């Protein structure tokens, strides 16, 4: 088996197991078992579970499927924003609220525990905010989003509010928090 294939298996298995059990609730053995590789293989690719966690955050954050609507310049900017959040809502609803966003989960669990993972999370949140900011700035130029606030501030607020929305939806196990977010974001905050 090629080394890169083993590393990819470990990353995929790590993502699944860490999302399901949390970072502190899953050991290296569980990750290698899920990947179907010997435990020793883990340390050929990662110095620690923490370095695997940082790589998983980076991969998760770079997910082009998650970013696809925001980056699609063929759509009107406000439509890019709406489709982005709708797609995320649908994904979490289809998962029956069983898990939240890896970024939010790791932020809550690891921000005070791992500087490496916290720094990876910060970079991904910055990138996500920048993607939102571009769409908001485009919509402001087009006149479909209010220019009362800086695009960067609106983007940061939307991301902060959305991560809170995910937490609430997990607790309530229904779509009401998503519906509230969409209504307020698109009928009040961005108008």
Q: Is residue 138 part of a domain?
A: yes
What Cα–Cα distance (Å) separates residue 121 from each residue in 65, 106, 136?
A: 18, 8, 22
- How many structural domains are present in the chain? 2
Q: Can you read off the two tokens belonging to residue 38? A: 């010997």
Q: Whose CA is closest to 111, among 101, 120, 100?
A: 120
Are 109 and 26 members of one domain? no
Are 40 and 68 members of one domain? no
Are 14 and 91 members of one domain? no
Alpha-carbon 85 to chain mean position: 12
The band of 176, judged by pLDDT with boundaries at 50, 70 and 90, is: very high
Q: Is residue 73 part of a domain?
A: yes
DSSP assignment of the chain, as one string?
A: --HHHHHHHHHHHHHHHHHHH-STT--HHHHHHHHTS-HHHHHHH-SSHHHHHHHHHHHHHT-HHHHHHHH-TTS-HHHHHHHHHHHHHHHHHHTTT----HHHHHHHHHTTT-HHHHHHHHHHHHHHHHHHHHHHHHHHHHTSS--SS-HHHHHHHHHHHHHHHHHHHHHHTSSHHHHHHHHHIIIII--
Are 127 and 152 members of one domain? yes
Q: Is residue 56 part of a domain?
A: no
Q: Is residue 53 part of a domain?
A: no
Are 173 and 124 members of one domain? yes
Q: List the Cα angle 59/65/68 in 5-degree steps.
A: 120
Are 22 and 108 members of one domain? no
Q: Is residue 87 part of a domain?
A: yes
Domain carrying residue 30:
3-46
Q: Is residue 100 part of a domain?
A: yes
Are 136 and 73 members of one domain? yes
Q: Whose CA is closest to 131, among 60, 53, 77?
A: 77
Q: What is the pLDDT of residues 140-173, one digit of tens each?
A: 999 999 999 999 999 999 999 999 999 999 899 9
**pLDDT of amino acid 113:** 95
Q: What is the pLDDT of residues 25-58, one digit of tens each?
A: 999 999 999 999 999 999 999 999 999 999 999 9
**pLDDT of amino acid 94:** 86
User: The CATH number of the domain where 122 resides is what?
Assistant: 1.10.357.10
Q: Is residue 54 part of a domain?
A: no
Mean pLDDT, the chain, rounded, equals 92
């Amino acid at each position: 088996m090629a080394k890169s294939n083993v590393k990819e298996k470990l990353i995929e298995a790590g993502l699944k197991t860490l999302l399901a059990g949390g970072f502190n609730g899953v050991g290296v053995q569980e990750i290698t078992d899920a990947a179907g590789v010997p435990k020793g293989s883990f340390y050929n690719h990662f110095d620690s579970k923490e370095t695997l966690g940082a790589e998983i955050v980076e991969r998760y954050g770079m997910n082009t499927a998650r970013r696809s609507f925001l980056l699609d310049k063929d759509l009107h900017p406000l439509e890019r924003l709406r489709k982005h959040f709708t797609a995320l809502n649908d994904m979490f609803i289809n998962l029956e609220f069983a898990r939240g966003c890896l970024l939010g989960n790791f932020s809550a669990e690891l921000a005070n525990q791992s500087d490496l993972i916290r720094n990876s999370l910060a970079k991904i949140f910055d990138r996500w905010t920048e993607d939102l900011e571009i769409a908001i700035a485009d919509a402001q130029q087009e006149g479909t989003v209010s220019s009362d606030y800086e695009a960067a501030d609106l983007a940061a607020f939307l991301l902060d509010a959305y991560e809170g929305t995910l937490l609430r939806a997990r607790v309530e196990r229904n779509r009401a928090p998503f519906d509230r977010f969409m209504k307020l974001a698109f009928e009040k905050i961005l108008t």
